[in-house]
């Protein structure tokens, strides 16, 4: 059970609380409410998950979920819409699990790297064709479309086409779409949306990307 799993608002908290009996009683009540809530939930359902916002952790949390899937022995596919040929630690690592993980890095860098709109559109389409294949594959427990929101924002793919394919995926399959500026229609369609909000970023303090953190 992780902290991430508490959708309920915290009760008002009195830091000076010293009455253990009161604490116990409050916590017992919280447990009843929580157990009842969890018991009422349906069990297996493929979620449409969106990680957006300008903060860090969107792709990283998707990789954390991939790690959980590998731990369960569930097959996963990942399409990277922006990352390309250049290898990364996460890709190196995931390629060590060829029975469970398929990872296709099909980008050619950010659009300010390629500086060629036609080429960007062509590479986005190519990646999307591969993604559609994964979204139609009922053997996959999870499909990660990494940075697809960027491609959608620049209009390199049609939002409606992506939502249609994602919505039509097998019922038990989780789809995780990452990248800043997720389109409103995608947020509407999603089951779980987290905005990674930048509170403090080391680049602003003159600190560059760190291996193990950023790549």
- Which residues in the 69-128 window bind a copy of itself by CB under 8 A? 69-72, 74, 76, 82-83, 86, 88-94, 109-118
The distance of closest approach from Cβ of residue 144 to a copy of itself in the complex, given in angstroms and rounded to an integer, is 11
Considering the complex, state which of residue 15 and residue 98 has its C-beta at the smaller distance from a copy of itself.
15
Give which of 183, 143, 131, 152 is closest to 48, Cα–Cα.
143
CA separation for the pair 96, 89 (Å, rounded): 11
3-state secondary structure labels for all residues of 127-156: HHHHHHHHHCCCCCCEEEEECHHHHHHCCC
Considering the complex, state which of residue 91 and residue 132 has its C-beta at the smaller distance from a copy of itself.
91
x-marked contacts with a copy of itself along 18-37 as a string, rule CB under 8 A: --x--xx-xxx-xx--x--x
Considering the complex, state which of residue 125 and residue 201 has its C-beta at the smaller distance from a copy of itself.
201
Considering the complex, state which of residue 168 and residue 187 has its C-beta at the smaller distance from a copy of itself.
187
Query: What is the H or E stretch that residue 39 is in?
Result: helix 20-39
Is residue 137 part of the contact set for a copy of itself (CB under 8 A)?
A: no
Please identify, among the stretches 55-63, 124-132, 160-168, the one whose residues bind a copy of itself according to the rule CB under 8 A: 55-63
Whose structure tokens read 């039509």? 168
Task: Count CA atoms within 13 Å of residue 144 on its CB side.
Answer: 28
């Amino acid at each position: 059970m992780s902290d991430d799993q508490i959708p309920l608002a915290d009760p008002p908290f009195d830091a000076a609380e010293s009455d253990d009996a009161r604490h116990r009683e409050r916590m017992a009540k919280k447990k009843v409410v929580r157990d009842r809530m969890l018991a009422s939930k349906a069990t297996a359902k493929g979620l449409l998950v969106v990680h957006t916002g300008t903060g860090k952790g969107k792709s990283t949390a998707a990789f954390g979920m991939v790690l959980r899937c590998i731990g369960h022995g569930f097959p996963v596919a990942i399409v990277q819409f922006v990352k390309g040929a250049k290898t990364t630690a996460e890709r190196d690592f995931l390629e060590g699990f060829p029975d469970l993980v398929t990872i296709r890095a099909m980008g050619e860098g950010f659009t300010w790297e390629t500086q060629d709109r036609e080429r960007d559109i062509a590479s986005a389409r190519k990646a999307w064709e591969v993604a559609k294949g994964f979204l139609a594959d009922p053997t996959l427990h999870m499909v990660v479309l990494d940075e697809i929101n960027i491609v959608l924002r620049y209009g390199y793919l049609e939002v409606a086409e992506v939502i249609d394919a994602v919505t039509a995926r097998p019922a038990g399959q989780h789809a995780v779409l990452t990248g800043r500026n997720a389109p409103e229609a995608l947020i509407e369609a999603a089951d779980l949306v987290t905005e990674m909000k930048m509170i403090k970023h080391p680049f602003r303090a003159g600190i560059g990307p760190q291996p193990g953190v950023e790549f």
